[in-house]
Amino acid sequence: MNQLYKQDIFPNQEFHVERTLIVDNGRTVPHSHDFYEVFIVEEGALEHGRDGMCEDMSPDCMALVFPQESHTFVRRGGQPLRFFNLAFSAEVYRQALALAGQCADGVQEPAARTVVLPHELSRQFLRRMKWLRNESGRMPPAVQSTLLTTLLADMLTVVAVGSGPVQTMPQWLRTACDEMRKPENLPGGIARFVELSGKSQEHLTRCMKKYCGQTPSAYVNSARLERVAEALTGTDKPVFDIMLDVGFENTSYFNKLFKEKYHMSPRKYRSGSLALFGK
């Protein structure tokens, strides 16, 4: 069995994000590592072998792998297999578990470590993993550490609680959620979300709570804040103008929501990023 080491894969960082694509009938050799790993299936199907047991995984499945745990991947079916995996140190795991315990009424170390995520939650986790992969080199260490720890705390909470009954999101709702995230739709807020769904606001609200575990308002605000964060690190536009562009009108409310999500003010988020480049 192959053994992988943190010092060989991400020696100078506390984490490593990779997007893996398998298009043939190959399998990975059984291996273990001295770090933690979490991965989410994005496309296709696989058989995940773990310490002599096998589990079938398909899109929206997420697994947490512990250090020294032997596992392997085998692609199943005719589709390409694509998944995102996030490797991280034991220290990061301890910090994320502690944060999860504070935020979710004493979350303990997960026992069952494979869950099926609601589709929108899976997409949210994937977006955050992609953001870490693409932007981590541009972030100051404090910002990077905060985003990593909060992402893992959210993941650990879901794994510890379990997935519950698996429910398939209707296609109309999936399409409306994807469309709502587009920049041109964000300023329209809830009214635009309702219009995109083609349903009544009451029906949209019921389905969002059932399949996504959040209200339409919370979903729209989250999408707006993610767009703000991108603009803060990628443009020189004033914070106030960015806020208005995505549809926020109340500065105090906007600042409150941003700080709840990113644990710092928009200006500090931007200044930390700019400081990294010496601007």
| Residue 128: per-residue pLDDT | 92
Match domain 171-277 to its CATH number in 2.60.120.10, 3.40.50.300, 1.20.1290.10, 1.10.10.60: 1.10.10.60
How many CB atoms within 10 Å of residue 155?
A: 24
Q: Which of 111, 119, 113, 131 is nearest to 58 (CA)?
A: 119
Predicted local confidence at residue 220, as pLDDT: 93
Mean pLDDT, rounded, for 233-248:
93
Tell me what percent of the residues of the chain surpass a pLDDT of 70.
Answer: 85
96 or 272, which is more confident: 96
Query: Quick one: average pLDDT of 203-218?
Result: 84
Does 53 score more than 90 pLDDT?
no
Would you list the domain boundaries of the chain?
2-161, 171-277
pLDDT at residue 15 is higher than 80: yes
Q: What is the pTM of this model?
A: 0.60
The pLDDT tens digits for 57-66 are 888 999 999 9
Sheet with 71-76, strands from edge to edge, namely 2-4, 31-33, 71-76, 45-50, 53-57
Q: In this structure, are residues 170 and 197 in contact, taking their beta carbons and an 8 Å threshold?
A: no
User: Does pLDDT of 198 surpass 90?
Assistant: yes
Maximum C-alpha span of the chain: 57
pLDDT digits (tens, 9 = 90+) for 74-133: 887 667 788 999 999 999 999 998 888 765 444 556 655 888 888 888 999 999 999 888
CATH level 2 (architecture), domain 2-161: Sandwich (2.60)
pLDDT the model gives residue 25: 57
Q: How far apart are CA 199 and CA 149, in angstroms?
A: 37
Residue 275 has pLDDT above 50, yes or no: no
- State the pLDDT at residue 1: 56
- pLDDT tier, 174 (very low <50, low <70, confident <90, very high otherwise): confident
Q: What is the pLDDT of residue 102?
A: 66
